[in-house]
Structure 1
Amino acid sequence: MVARAVLVTGSNRGLGLEMVRQLARHVTPPDVIIATCRNPEAAQELQQLSKSHKEVNLLKLDVADEGSYAAMVRSVSEMVGDQGLNLLINNAGVAPKSTRITQVKWQQMVDTFLVNSVAPVMLSKAFLPMLKIAATQAEGSGLSVKRAAIINISSVLGSIEKNDKGGIYPYRASKAALNAITKSLSNDVRDSNILVSSVCPGWTQTDMGGKNAALTPEQSIFNVLHLLSTMNETHHGQFYQYDGVKLPW
C-alpha cells in the first residue's frame, strides 16, 4: 500500500486521472482515495472508477476558490476518519501556451500563479491538521508517504539551474515558486514527521504535454508511484524526477 488515505487534486484528466486509476487498481490499494476536480459530474472516467472501486471517492474542488476549502476539508475529514490524511498530492495545474517576453500577458502570469503556486500552499495549510494526525499513527520519526506526506507535482521547467532556453514565463515561474514552497514547507513541518517533496512526472502525452511527449501517462505515473513508495528522509525538501533522479533547483 502506498498510503492508507490519499487525496489527489486535478483528477478529472491527464496525470491526475491516471494516478487515481493506478492507485485504485493496485494490488494493495489505499483504503481511501479522494479524487478532486472542478466538475465531478462531468468527469465520466472518474465516475466509472468510483463505481468499480469502492475506495475511490469523488469530491468537487476548484483549487482557485479558497472560499470552498472549508466545506471540502470537512468532507475529507469525514472520509478519512480519526486516522487522518496520509498523502496529499498537489497535482492540479495549468500551462498557458508557451510565451516569449514580447508576448506574455499579465493575466496569464496571475492565473497561473494562483493555480500552480498559491493553491498548493493554501491546500497544504488546510489539510495540515489531518496530516499531523496521520503522522502520529506510526511509531518512531521516520519519514514516508505511508506515514504522512505532501507531494507537489512540479516540472523540470521550474528548475532555475536547468533553464537554458528562456520563455514559458507563467509556467516556469509558477513551478519555480512551487519548488520554493516545497522547501519552506519541508522546514516548517519536519518536526511533525511529514515528508515534503517536489516531483517532476516528466514530459508526458497529456492535453498539457502534447502528443509528441516522451512518456505515456501510464509510464509516468507507474514510475512516480514507485518513487513515492521508496521515499524517506533523504527525499525531504528535495526535487526529484519521476525516475528517481534528483533535480537541481
Structure 2
Amino acid sequence: MPDPRIALVTGANQGLGLALVETLAARMAPHDRVLLTGRDPGRVQAAVAAVAEAQPIARVEGRVLDVRDGDAIADLAAELGEVDIVFSNATSRMTPDDDPAEQVDALAETSNLATSHMLRAFAPRLRRGGRLIVVASALGTLDKLDARIADRFAAAAADSLDAVDALVAEWRRAVHDGRAEAEGYGSWLNIPSKVAQVAAVRAVARTRRPADLAEGKLLMALCPGLIDTDASRPWFADMSEAQTPAEAASWPVELVLAESFDPTYYGELVQFGTVLPWATGIAAPALARRSSDRESADGEGC
C-alpha cells in the first residue's frame, strides 16, 4: 500500500475552501488525510461535521490555523514534516462600502503575508509529485495596475519573496496615508493584493523551477473563475455564469490528484488549464458599481 498522502487547505470553513476539502476527501484514499483549517474553532468543527455528512473516503481532520500567524504556519509545517497537496486559499472578506484604510491590513495579512508564510513553510516540504496551489484571481496580472506600480511588482517578482513582501508593506502604508491612488496602486484593494500573490508565487518558483520539475512538483497560482458565494455576490454586476463552489473545486482537485501536469503551469497563474499571461492577463468579469464609487472583487471570483 502506498504511503498516506496529506492534503492541507486553508480558509476551508466555507465557499471554495470547503468545496476543495469535500472534493479531495471524496477522491483520495481511506488512509489519506485532508486537513481542513480555519482560525475559528467553532466554524472549523462545524465544517468538519458538514463534510462528514457526505461520508468522505479520506480522513478529514479539522485544525485551527490563523494564517496571519507565521509562527503557527511554520509549526504546523514542522509537525506534518512532508505534505503532498497544499491549497493556500484564505482571504479576508470585504464589502463594497468598507473604507480601504480600515481593511487593507486584514487583507494584506490574510492574503499576502499568509501566502508568503505558506510558500516559505510548505514549498520545501512538498513530497515528490507534490502540488502547492495559491488561490488568486484574474485580477492578479500586471495589466490591472498602473504601469508605474506594475513595473515595481514585476521587478519584485524577478527578485525575491522578501522584495514582494516589502512592496506589499509600501502599498499598505500608501493606503493608510491616502497616497495609494495618486501613486498608481488604485482604489481597489484586491488588485494590488492579487497581483502581489501571483508575484510571490513567481518569486519562489523562479528559484525552484528546475529542481521541482525534475521531481514532478507543481507550484502555481490559481484563478478558480467566478464563484457564487455570499462574499462574491455584492461585487459583481452579473452572476448568471458563476459556478457553485463544488463546480469551481472540480478542476483544481483533478489537477492536484493527476499523476502529471503541463509543465507550462509551473510558476504561473492558471485558469481551467490555461495560463493567464502575467503581463497582459485577460478581461475580468464586470464589477458592480456602488454609491461609494469603489469597486473590488472577492477572492472567490476572477
TM-score tier after normalising by the smaller chain length? 0.7 to 0.9
Amino acid at match of 2:249: I
Amino acid at match of 1:9: T
Determine if contact 2:145/2:192 at 8 Å carries over to the other structure: no
Amino acid at match of 2:103: Q
For 2:233, the equivalent position in structure 1 comes to: 210
RMSD between superposed Cα atoms in Å: 2.8
Distance apart, 1:104 and its partner CA: 4.8
TM-score of the aligned structures, taking structure 1 as reference length: 0.78
Determine if contact 1:23/1:30 at 8 Å carries over to the other structure: no
1:201 is aligned to 2:224? yes
For 2:103, the equivalent position in structure 1 comes to: 108
Distance apart, 1:4 and its partner CA: 2.7
Determine if contact 1:186/1:195 at 8 Å carries over to the other structure: no
Determine if contact 1:98/1:167 at 8 Å carries over to the other structure: no
Q: Matches of 1:29 and 1:189 in 2, distance apart?
A: 32
Look up the SS of the partner of 1:206 in the other structure: coil
For 2:262, the equivalent position in structure 1 comes to: 232
Residue deviations 1:49-75, cap 9 Å, x none?
358445211111010122323432344
Which of 208, 219, 233 aligns to 2:247? It is 219
Structure whose CA Rg is larger? 2
Structure 1 pair 33–105 and aligned structure 2 pair: CA distance change class (3 A):
same
Look up the SS of the partner of 1:88 in the other structure: strand
Distance apart, 1:180 and its partner CA: 0.4
1:124 is aligned to 2:119? yes
Choose 171-180 or 216-225, whichever is displaced more. Answer: 216-225
Distance apart, 1:169 and its partner CA: 2.0
Aligned residue-pair number: 224
Determine if contact 1:6/1:34 at 8 Å carries over to the other structure: yes
Which of 243, 246, 249 aligns to 2:275? It is 246
Distance apart, 1:182 and its partner CA: 0.9
Structure 1 pair 109–48 and aligned structure 2 pair: CA distance change class (3 A):
closer
Look up the SS of the partner of 2:274 in the other structure: coil
Show the 5 A alignment for 1:8-157.
8-26=9-27, 28=29, 31-43=32-44, 44-49=46-51, 52-53=55-56, 54-77=58-81, 84-98=82-96, 104-131=99-126, 134-135=127-128, 147-157=129-139
Determine if contact 2:48/2:61 at 8 Å carries over to the other structure: no
Look up the SS of the partner of 1:6 in the other structure: strand
Q: Matches of 1:86 and 1:232 in 2, distance apart?
A: 18
Structure 1 pair 178–56 and aligned structure 2 pair: CA distance change class (3 A):
same
Structure 1 pair 24–76 and aligned structure 2 pair: CA distance change class (3 A):
same
For 1:138, the equivalent position in structure 2 comes to: none
Distance apart, 1:227 and its partner CA: 3.9
Distance apart, 1:247 and its partner CA: 1.3
Distance apart, 1:28 and its partner CA: 4.8
For 2:168, the equivalent position in structure 1 comes to: none
Amino acid at match of 1:96: M
Q: Matches of 1:168 and 1:199 in 2, distance apart?
A: 23
Q: Matches of 1:237 and 1:179 in 2, distance apart?
A: 8
For 2:208, the equivalent position in structure 1 comes to: 189
Residue deviations 1:31-51, cap 9 Å, x none?
121111112433313234358
Residue deviations 1:198-220, cap 9 Å, x none?
11111101122228631111111
Determine if contact 2:22/2:51 at 8 Å carries over to the other structure: yes
Structure 1 pair 27–34 and aligned structure 2 pair: CA distance change class (3 A):
closer
Could you list the runs of 4 or more consecutive aligned residues of structure 1 that deviate by over 4 angstroms after TM superposition? Answer: 27-30
Residue deviations 1:156-208, cap 9 Å, x none?
122232579x9662111111000001111111222441321111111101122
Residue deviations 1:220-247, cap 9 Å, x none?
1112223443633211111111x22221
Structure 1 pair 182–149 and aligned structure 2 pair: CA distance change class (3 A):
same
